[in-house]
Amino acid sequence: MSTLKRFAGQTAIYGLSTILSRLLNFLLTPIYIRLYNAKVYGIFTYLYSWASMLNAILAFGMETTFFRYLNKYENKKDQVYNNTFLAVATTALLFLLFTIFFADGIASWMQRDHSSYHVDYVRYVKYFIYILVADALAVIPFAKVRADGRPIRYGMIKFVNILTFIGLNLAFLFLIPYIIKSGGSVALFLSEWYRPQWVGYVFISNLIASILTLILLLPELLKLKVKYDGPLVTEMLWYSFPVLIANISFIINENIDKIFLGRFLPPSISEQEMGIYGACCKLAIFLNIFIQAFRLGAEPFFFSHAKAENAGQTYARVMNYFVITISVIFIALTANIEILKYFIRGSHAQQELYWSGLNVVPILLFGYVSLGIYMNLSIWYKLSDQTRFALYISGVGAALTIVLNVIFIPRYSYMASAWSSLIAYATMMILSYLMGQKNYPIPYHLKKNVAYLLSAIGIVYLSFVIFDRNIIIGNLLLLLFIIITFLIERKRILKFSKLGLKKNW
């Protein structure tokens, strides 16, 4: 099987599992928004933003390190697996010890208004501590599944995780209330402890799903052997530390805006603004899903293909079609925003409140476009063991995010958050390209890729602003973009076919 076909096949499987899992999870969004007002949904958004940031710290950049060192030391695969897991497990257990006993203080710090539900907030914090530890312990076993070329097993475990999460949510939010309403001995037992529409049930469902995932990964966990290799661990930590900082910077760009909304807006409106912004961010998640699915398939492929004679040309071709695909998704989501908005309509009283934030969606989407291209570009410093550049680039992005949010949130609320995210990701994308071409040149089709991106931006502007989100015009412009792109790329496809190079795809 050709390299690009194998890459496309595995990415399709990873992508399908990731997309379906995220879509199933996304289907809970309208339920949450209908059940909880914007203020309560703001609590939900705030806590998950912190969890995302801490996830990156606990993983310690070891996922990327695992793939790199499997390729670097092919005769030490077991040692690489054992010691990367040991590093992550040690970090996770230390985190557990240093946080679980201070849950009350953490909850007090996170609550600005110190309202009457402090006891609940302490419970939420404890749930998230356990979730974070369970998820951290699963990072390297999941990476091993990918490294072993088993995307179907990977997808199966992800599906079980998300179906468990969704099933428990539906049980807590709808099934148990129905049983209680129906009456009987079981209803009496349930009514003694059940709290209608308590947001804590969402977090409990997440915790159970994370624990079940660890159980499903037992075959990988049982292959572990506690054999500490000091020199190898030291070398891997030096490699992973810049990756860790880069990952933290990514998470800062993704989540610090929501945290800052809670810290820099007046307490009377902060949770509501977080709720509106968090709901609108969900509409941009479709593009982020594609990026994550691409990364799952691309990272192991890029490392395994690094020694191939035509590696640079392959990476450039992957980038070309990645830009096309992400541009199509960008335009399609914007063109159909008038349909997608019904996923976040909430109750009748809250509907217009949630929809008031829709103007941030195209800005967030192009931020994700920039992030996706940056992830594609970032292979240069990973392959050349120059991960310190990840620290420099992502550090600039994180600094921009923090400074711009701190300055502008008090005046412009979540609109400042959206623009800050876009500026940070676009800056990182440009810096990575410039540094990469200097230190590890790859023959990207720069002019063509930029032309596609500028065309996509122009179409989105026409669709969203000039034609005021008209669905018909937006989709006609999308169709025009697809036709013109196909006509441009058809020549290249026919050329490869005629030259008999189809096997190299």
pLDDT along the chain (505 residues), means of 10: 55 63 73 80 81 82 81 80 89 91 84 65 91 93 85 85 91 90 83 86 93 94 83 83 74 80 82 85 81 70 70 83 92 93 77 87 94 86 78 87 93 93 93 89 90 95 93 95 89 55 41
The predicted structure's pLDDT at residue 1 = 43
| d(C-alpha 220, C-alpha 226), whole Å | 14
Residue from 69, 147, 137 nearest 383 by CA? 69
| d(C-alpha 375, C-alpha 97), whole Å | 34
The predicted structure's pLDDT at residue 337 = 93
Q: What is the DSSP string of 232-281?
A: HHHHHHHHHHHHHHHHHHHHHHHHHHHHHHHHHS-HHHHHHHHHHHHHHH
Residue from 22, 141, 39 nearest 92 by CA? 141
Polymer length of the chain: 505
Q: Residue 169: helix, strand or coil by DSSP?
A: helix
| Secondary structure letter of residue 413 according to DSSP | T
The predicted structure's pLDDT at residue 249 = 73
Q: Is the dihedral of CA 150, 153, 157, 162 positive or negative?
A: positive
Q: What is the pTM of this model?
A: 0.72
Centroid of chain to Cα 91 = 22
Contact 174, 122 (CB under 8 A): no
In angstroms, the Cα distances linking 210 to 35, 128, 165, 215 are: 24, 11, 9, 9
Question: How many Cβ atoms from other residues are within 10 Å of residue 56's Cβ?
Answer: 21
Residue from 290, 353, 362, 330 nearest 453 by CA? 330
The predicted structure's pLDDT at residue 137 = 93
Q: Residue 205: helix, strand or coil by DSSP?
A: helix
The predicted structure's pLDDT at residue 8 = 56
User: Among all chains, which residue has been given the structure tokens 């996706």?
Assistant: 372
2 dihedral zone (left: phi>0; alpha: psi -120 to 50; beta): beta
The predicted structure's pLDDT at residue 116 = 53
In angstroms, the Cα distances linking 240 to 66, 235, 363, 459 are: 9, 9, 31, 40
Contact 200, 120 (CB under 8 A): yes
The predicted structure's pLDDT at residue 239 = 80
The structure tokens listed for 486 are 């196909």
Residue from 111, 127, 45, 98 nearest 344 by CA? 45
| d(C-alpha 373, C-alpha 449), whole Å | 10
